[in-house]
């Protein structure tokens, strides 16, 4: 008897990330439980391996990871998010690293690497990874350098970056600590971020 194939709701996978952290941090006195951002994907992958051939499994998981990456960027763009800080970026970065590690490991363990695909699971998270790398970078205005953009930020859209950067607010000391030279570093970062915002406005 052929197993019944239940359609997978990819939209549900976007909930594996704690998007509310973009809006606020939970009160310190409240105990919270931590859920790994890979739990749902692990369940999906385990079930799908028993049903689908490798080629179909590849399409399913890459589709899910593409959707997750897009959901991360969309969360920053959401009208519900008026501003966000470095804490939000750091939180998403932590989840994203777990997803990337899961993507690399599962690509090998499922045998999908044997298909010799040019696009691995981790590549599906490229847009969100590049965004998370850009925001706290020392010189965010480098995004406008064609060579650097092609190498490090090629998956990012100008308009999306412009909208997201306008919402990024953080006190400089949060970015660079309290070392004696923090003032020079933070002033340089703020100047670079302001320059990026200006050039993006001019570009658009």
Taking residues 27-52, report their average pLDDT.
Answer: 69
- Counting the structural domains of the chain, the total is 1
- pLDDT tens per residue across span 138-161: 899 999 999 999 999 999 999 999
Using the predicted structure, report yes or no on whether residue 21 has a pLDDT greater than 80: no
Per-residue pLDDT, 115: 79
Mean pLDDT (the chain, rounded): 79
Cα–Cα distance measured from residue 106 to residue 30, given in angstroms and rounded to the nearest whole number:
34
Share of the chain above pLDDT 90, in %: 49
Residue 146 in domain:
yes
Cα–Cα distance measured from residue 95 to residue 93, given in angstroms and rounded to the nearest whole number:
5
Using the predicted structure, report yes or no on whether residue 33 has a pLDDT greater than 90: no
Per-residue pLDDT, 118: 80
Using the predicted structure, report yes or no on whether residue 193 has a pLDDT greater than 70: yes
Residue 144 near residue 199, CB atoms below 8 Å: yes
Window from 26-35, 147-156, 184-193, 194-203 with minimum mean pLDDT? 26-35
Residue 30 in domain:
no
Residue 117, Ramachandran bin (φ over 0: left; ψ between -120 and 50: alpha; else beta): beta
The pTM of the full predicted model, rounded to 2 decimals, is 0.77
Per-residue pLDDT, 18: 37
Residue 125 in domain:
yes
Taking residues 186-196, report their average pLDDT.
Answer: 87
Residue 28 in domain:
no
Per-residue pLDDT, 180: 52
Residues 6+ positions from 107 with CB-CB distance below 8 Å? 113, 120, 121, 122
Residue 9 in domain:
no
Residue 120 in domain:
yes
- Residue 49 belongs to what domain range? 40-203
Using the predicted structure, report yes or no on whether residue 40 has a pLDDT greater than 90: no
Residue 5 in domain:
no
Residue 27 in domain:
no
Q: Where are the alpha helices (DSSP H) in the chain?
A: 39-49, 54-77, 86-109, 126-134, 146-152, 158-167, 172-176, 182-203
Q: How many other C-beta atoms are found inside a 10 Å radius of the C-beta of residue 9?
A: 7
- Residue of 6 and 104 predicted with greater confidence: 104
């Amino acid at each position: 008897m052929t197993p019944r194939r239940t359609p997978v709701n990819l939209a549900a996978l976007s909930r594996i990330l704690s998007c509310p952290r973009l809006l606020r941090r939970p009160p310190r006195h409240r105990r919270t439980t931590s859920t790994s951002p890979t739990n749902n994907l692990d369940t999906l992958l385990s079930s799908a391996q028993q049903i689908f051939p490798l080629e179909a499994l590849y399409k399913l998981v890459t589709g899910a990871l593409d959707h997750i990456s897009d959901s991360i960027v969309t969360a920053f763009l959401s009208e519900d998010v008026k501003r966000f800080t470095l804490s939000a970026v750091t939180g998403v970065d932590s989840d994203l690293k777990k997803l990337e590690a899961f993507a690399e490991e599962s690509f090998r363990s499922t045998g999908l690497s044997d298909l010799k695909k040019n696009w691995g699971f981790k590549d599906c998270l490229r847009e969100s990874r590049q965004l998370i790398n850009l925001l706290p970078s020392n010189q965010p205005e480098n995004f406008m350098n064609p060579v650097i953009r092609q190498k490090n930020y090629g998956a990012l859209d100008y308009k999306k970056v412009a909208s997201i950067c306008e919402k990024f607010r953080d006190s400089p000391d949060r970015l660079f600590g309290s070392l004696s030279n923090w003032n020079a570093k933070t002033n340089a970062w703020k100047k670079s971020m302001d320059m990026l915002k200006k050039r993006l406005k001019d570009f658009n």
